[in-house]
């Protein structure tokens, strides 16, 4: 696109014949520009074409995500109509910057993201909210330095609808009280980890901001006292009560309110809430669609029976819970057509249980059985048989599932979009079968020692939609020091520590080489993320083929000793949108590789490299 937009005016201008764009009004050009939003380089190229385009583009731009805060002063002049400002790439935003921002985009600014920024105080916020009265969305996550004074500054934003204050640990009930009184139009509020906000603040929010539809109260020291008011909110749809340890069955039993509009309820990590508390909490909610009870009390028939009355439930997440047979039976007899089921790390989930469950929920679209270690071929057989419309199957570390099972997956689940088979027995036959899933966009095959180029080539040629490929391999013990192994164990096996060592034992026999990667690079133009860490047969050729994936954003080639600067330069030139690069332990990459990176990869946000590469 970039080349097209560059070329188009070229033949016209030398003749000084009338520019066809002169005929088009600015509005029409803007409409054209609207369609360029997928490719950041297209708009850039467009603006660099001529002064007129530059002017139009600067008027047209609404969303701005500056990569460097020091360029902000110039941006202010160039883009007068910015409405969405994302400062998440600017770690240092001080009061002065906020002052300038507020005076520049006084009327236009609608949303601002300061979640990764620091060094601003209530003074800057005050000028921002006083001047930019049109602000609708503000993200102030992680602003631990903000106090109640800042909260009272936020309260100036009368039109605010979405506010995130996650981890604003210094804000107390007083500040929340100010916000509750000031921002009456709030629809979405996140108070996660605002540890100093208690019942009083939440209660006032519920009393004053009647429009709230989404409320995140995770990890707040609140009790049922404020819940009573929260449940009175007429428009409340999403309620997150993750890790609210002050909420228990006794308290919930005293609730005399019910929220009719509630659609999503998250009670993760609420160990004090059992089926009695849950039933009194969701009593009277007619619209309930999603319920998350991860890491809570064990899944018994009583708990599941609470959900029986809600016919619209589509998503049930029970990750990390202990599942009983009676609970499974009750779940199987749920009236609701469950489409999403998450049972990862569920202790006690067996073949029988899972089979019984999926047979009664044939509409299942998403299934997560990560680390369900008792699952075998039988389950996969029945899952694939009954849930043919499955789009997402995550089965990392299901160690008892044999390779034949993956053939079934490919053969029967043709709508599959996401498959996580990390740390499984899947082999080339399975991959060939899975390549039939033409919509596959996420494929994770980390630590799968049985796959080879052959299978990958088939996938690369068939799955054109692939966006994310994980071919992470375990590092070879010979090439690594022991500490690194340990590190890998802890980082990679985020779910189960035990599996790491097991994975180490069977080092990939048929290693993936350039041929497999080349197939993917050639066949999957939409590729955005690929991880080929610790595949030591990978050479520059792989990277050269991957450089054809122009949308590549994340590349991890950690520990690929065969990769040199040549390959990296090819990536730098080809993949201009690269934002994350991991070249740790790629000892053959030197300055010659880094220089093109610095020159071309202007979107680069994060480079992980070993200390040896000090030249960066």
Partner 1 sequence: MDHRDGQSVEHQKKDPQQHPHPCFTNFTTHHQQQKWEDPSLLDYSTRIEPPFQAFNPNCQTKSSFPCNPNNQIKVPDPIMNELLQASKVQDWDPSAMLNNLSFLEQKIHQLQGLVHSIIGRGGQVLGQPDELVAQQQQLITAALTSIIVQLISTAGSLLPSVKHHTLCGAPPAASLAQFQPQNGGGNSVPELPNTVDVSSNSGEQQNHVMEEHEMKDEEDAEELGESLFPGTYEILQLEKEEILAPHTHFCTICGKGFKRDANLRMHMRGHGDEYKTPAALAKPNKESSSEPALIKRYSCPFAGCKRNKDHKKFQPLKTILCVKNHYKRSHCDKSYICSRCHTKKFSVIADLKTHEKHCGKDKWLCSCGTTFSRKDKLFGHIALFQGHTPAIPLDETKGPIAPSDPGDGSEATNVVGSMNFFNFGSENGVDVKGSLDDPAAYFSPLNFETCNFGGFHEFPRPASDDSETSLAFLLSGTCSYNNNHNDVERS
Q: Which residues bind partner 1 (CB under 8 A)?
A: 147-149, 151-152, 155, 170-175, 177-178, 181-182, 196, 198, 200-201, 203-204, 207-208
Q: By C-beta, is 176 or 358 nearer to partner 1?
A: 176
Nearest CB to partner 1, comparing residues 31 and 158: 158
Q: How far is the CB of 285 from partner 1 (least distance, A)?
A: 25
Closer of 175 and 446 to partner 1 (Cβ): 175
C-alpha distance from residue 86 to each of 72, 99, 108, 129 (Å): 12, 16, 14, 16
Name which of 153 and 240 has its Cβ closer to partner 1: 153
Give the Cα separation of 199 and 247 in Å (integer). 11
Least Å from the CB of residue 172 to partner 1: 4
- Dist. CA 336–CA 94, nearest whole Å: 51
Three-class secondary structure assignment of 406-472: HHHHHHHCCCCCEEECCCCCCCHHHHHHHCCCCCCCEEECCCCCCCCHHHHHHHHHHCCCCCEEECC
Minimum CB separation from partner 1 for residue 148, in Å?
4
Least Å distance, CB 236 to partner 1, is 18
Nearer to partner 1, 196 or 439 (CB): 196
Smaller CB separation from partner 1, 114 or 206:
206
- Measured in degrees and rounded to the nearest 5, phi and psi for residue 168 equal -80, 85
Taking the least distance from each CB to partner 1, the nearer of 148 and 242 is 148
In degrees, rounded to 5, the angle at the alpha carbon of residue 357 between the alpha carbons of residues 352 and 362 is 130
Q: Which is nearer to partner 1, 246 or 327 (CB)?
A: 246
* Cα–Cα distance for residue pair 500/488, rounded to 1 Å: 8
Q: How far is the CB of 221 from partner 1 (least distance, A)?
A: 11
C-beta of 137 vs 203, nearer to partner 1: 203
Q: What is the 3-state secondary structure (H, E, C) of 160-211?
A: CCEEECCCCCCCCHHHHHHHHHHCCCCCEEECCCCCCCCHHHHHHHHHHCCC
Chain position carrying tokens 């610095």? 598
Instruction: Classify residue 295 as exposed, middle or buried by CB count within 10 Å of its CB (0-12, 13-18, 19+).
Output: middle
In the complex, least distance from residue 294 CB atom to partner 1, rounded to whole angstroms: 31
The H or E element containing residue 238 is strand 238-240
Cα(369)–Cα(395) distance, integer angstroms: 5
By beta-carbon proximity to partner 1, the closer residue of 202 and 354 is 202
Q: How far is the CB of 136 from partner 1 (least distance, A)?
A: 21
3-state helix, strand, coil in the chain (%, to 5): 40, 10, 50
Nearest CB to partner 1, comparing residues 62 and 184: 184
Classify residue 74 as exposed, middle or buried by CB count within 10 Å of its CB (0-12, 13-18, 19+): exposed
Which of 5, 12, 80 is CA-nearest to residue 43? 5
Contacts of 474 (CB under 8 A, 6+ apart): 447, 488, 492, 503, 504, 507, 508, 534
- Smallest gap, in angstroms, from Cβ of residue 382 to partner 1? 55
Structure tokens at 476: 């070879």
β strands within 459-599, DSSP E: 468-470, 529-531, 554-556, 580-582
Work out whether strand 529-531 and strand 111-113 pair parallel, antiparallel, or are unpaired.
unpaired
Provide, rounded to whole angstroms, the least separation between the CB of residue 199 and partner 1.
9
Minimum distance of partner 1 from residue 602's CB (angstroms): 40
Q: Provide the minimum distance between the beta carbon of 94 and partner 1 in the complex, in angstroms, as a whole number.
A: 18
């Amino acid at each position: 696109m970039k080349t097209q937009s560059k070329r188009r005016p070229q033949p016209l201008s030398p003749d000084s014949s009338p520019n066809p764009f002169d005929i088009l009004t600015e509005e029409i050009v803007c409409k054209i520009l609207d369609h360029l939003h997928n490719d950041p380089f297209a708009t850039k190229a467009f603006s660099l074409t001529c002064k007129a385009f530059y002017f139009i583009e600067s008027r047209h731009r609404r969303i701005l995500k500056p990569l460097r805060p020091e360029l902000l002063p110039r941006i202010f002049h160039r883009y007068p109509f910015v409405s969405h400002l994302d400062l998440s790439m600017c770690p240092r935003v001080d009061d002065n910057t906020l002052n300038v921002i507020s005076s520049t985009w006084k009327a236009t600014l609608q949303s601002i993201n300061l979640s990764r920024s620091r060094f601003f105080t209530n003074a800057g916020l005050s000028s921002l909210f006083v001047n930019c009265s049109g602000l609708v969305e503000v993200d102030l996550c992680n602003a631990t330095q903000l106090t109640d004074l800042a909260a009272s500054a936020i309260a100036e934003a009368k039109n605010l609808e979405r506010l995130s204050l996650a981890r604003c640990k210094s804000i107390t009930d007083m500040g929340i009280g100010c916000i509750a009184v000031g921002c009456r139009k709030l629809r979405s509020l996140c108070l996660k980890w605002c540890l100093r906000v208690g019942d009083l603040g939440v209660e006032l929010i519920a009393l004053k901001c009647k429009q709230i539809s989404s409320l995140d109260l995770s990890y707040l020291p609140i009790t049922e006292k404020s819940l009573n008011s929260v449940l009175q909110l007429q428009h409340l749809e999403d309620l997150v009560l993750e890790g609210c340890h002050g909420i228990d069955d006794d308290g919930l039993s005293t609730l005399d309110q019910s929220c009719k509009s509630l659609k999503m309820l998250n009670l993760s990590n609420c160990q004090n809430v059992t089926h009695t508390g849950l039933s009194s909490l969701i009593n009277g909610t007619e619209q309930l669609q999603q319920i998350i009870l991860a890491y809570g009390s064990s899944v018994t028939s009583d708990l599941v029976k609470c959900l029986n009355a809600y016919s619209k439930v589509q998503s049930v997440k029970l990750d990390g819970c202990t599942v009983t047979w009676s609970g499974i039976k009750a779940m199987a007899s749920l009236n609701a057509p469950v489409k999403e089921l998450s049972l990862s790390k569920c202790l006690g989930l067996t073949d029988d249980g899972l089979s019984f469950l999926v047979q009664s929920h044939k509409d299942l679209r998403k299934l997560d059985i990560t680390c369900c270690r008792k699952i075998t071929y039988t389950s996969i057989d029945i899952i694939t048989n009954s849930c043919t419309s499955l789009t997402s199957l995550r089965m990392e570390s299901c160690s008892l599932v044999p390779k034949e099972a993956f053939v079934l997956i490919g053969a029967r689940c043709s709508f599959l979009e996401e498959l996580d088979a990390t740390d499984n027995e899947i082999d080339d036959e399975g991959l060939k079968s899975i390549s039939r899933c033409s919509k596959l966009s996420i494929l994770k095959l980390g630590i799968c020692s049985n796959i080879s180029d052959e299978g990958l080539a088939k996938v690369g040629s068939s799955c054109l939609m692939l966006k994310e490929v994980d071919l992470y391999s375990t590092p070879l013990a010979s090439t690594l020091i022991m500490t690194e192994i340990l590190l890998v164990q802890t980082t990679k096996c985020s779910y189960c520590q035990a599996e790491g060592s097991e994975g180490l034992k069977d080092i990939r026999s048929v290693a993936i080489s350039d041929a497999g990667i080349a197939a993917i690079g050639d066949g999957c133009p939409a590729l955005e993320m690929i991880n080929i860490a610790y595949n030591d047969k990978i050479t520059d050729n792989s990277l050269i083929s991957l450089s054809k994936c122009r949308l590549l954003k994340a590349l991890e080639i950690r520990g690929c000793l065969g990769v040199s600067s040549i390959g990296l330069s090819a990536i730098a030139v080809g993949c201009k949108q690269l934002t994350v690069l991991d070249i740790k332990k790629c000892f053959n990459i030197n300055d010659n590789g880094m220089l093109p990176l610095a020159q071309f990869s202007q979107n680069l946000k994060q480079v992980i490299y070993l200390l040896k590469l000090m030249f960066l």
